[in-house]
Structure 1
Amino acid sequence: MTEVNFSARAYCKIMLHAAKYPHLAVNGLLLGAKASESPTKVLDAVPLFHQCLHVTPMAEIALIQVEAKAAREGLQIIGYYAAAENFYDNSLEKAPGARIADKIAENVSGAVFGVIDNRAVSINMRYPALKVWQNRESRWSKVQRCTVEDSKNTFDAVSSLLQRGAMKELNDFDNYLDNTENDWSNAHLNRDLPQILSMY
């Protein structure tokens, strides 16, 4: 059985990114440990863009910076996530920026592609708002099981964060390109999330 597990940190950041730009398509990178594990574990997420999601010079710059920072932390880029602009487009075929995911899969065995299920992003989450595929033998196959670390508490924390508007505090790479004081790594959120999660 293929399974992909998302850490609370990764899941929170993905949901906050989608909620910050509900009227736009968004995308980002998934980070994991360098040693391949089973099930695959997504340990962190880096929000990339909410404007131009296609492979561009900005995307290449973002990939280089994220890869360097991840390597310093003992992580690597293991996948990609996206949300379509259309509320009902929740499939791999309709996911924006799929070329980035394909490029990651060329370099990473078992790369992961997460598509945000727009209909499931709410302030009362009870199951993962993600549909996940994994690259096996050069093709994307639907993952049988997508889990979230400490799911009940993580969903409660995400719901609470969404209710209080915490998505405004999340920065993606587009925000960084607008103003370099906007930290695309979201160190402030990484620091505060364990305390927020411990409240649930």
Structure 2
Amino acid sequence: MSPLQLLFQGDAVHTAVALILLCMSIAAWFVIFWKSWLLQRALTDVSRSTAAFWQAADVTAALAALPAFDREGLVLPLVQATQTQGAGTLAAAGDRGQQLTRVLRDALHGVLQRLQSGQVLLATVGSTAPFVGLLGTVWGIYHALISITGGGQVSIDKISGPVGEALIMTAAGLAVAIPAVLAYNVFGRLVARLEADLEGFALDLRELLLSSPKAD
């Protein structure tokens, strides 16, 4: 009998735990593949977009050139935010430096929120899947011992089979959790690297616009 069949051969609680682990695994692997693709593109986009911006003649030319390089929309929103000041509103209150700090901070938060999407799910799966699997193991061992006790004579042969089947749930929980934890840590480092690059660009952009008022 295969491990998959063993997971689903128990009672309703045992089967429910197996289904939960299966759903958690599918969700985690979907996020892993999606974020791998997203962050790979993002690393390339940020490098190419910042290079294209600094090679442009002015901010207007940079805005026209960036869409070709910024496929994920990580750098372009920062530049666009500096071009909309909302004259006559509180958004335009304060000096030029305060306005740029505010709009760049808000744009940067929006970009980083997109980059960090999926991290909560990976962290949740990585931290809870082992305990979900352990619940299935405890439940399976409990019912295995009850059935063995009710059967009369107890032997190692009667105990080892059902208990071994129940322990598969613990292994299943770890198999779901370990990829999620590893992916969370790797993606966290990549997001932190992108965050540092974007924050540096935002700071440089602010200084540029402050020193060249006519650039925008």
TM-score range, shorter chain: under 0.3
Q: TM-score, normalised by structure 1?
A: 0.25
Q: TM-score, normalised by structure 2?
A: 0.23
Say which one has the larger Rg.
2
Q: Would you tell me which structure has more strand in proportion to its own residues?
A: 1
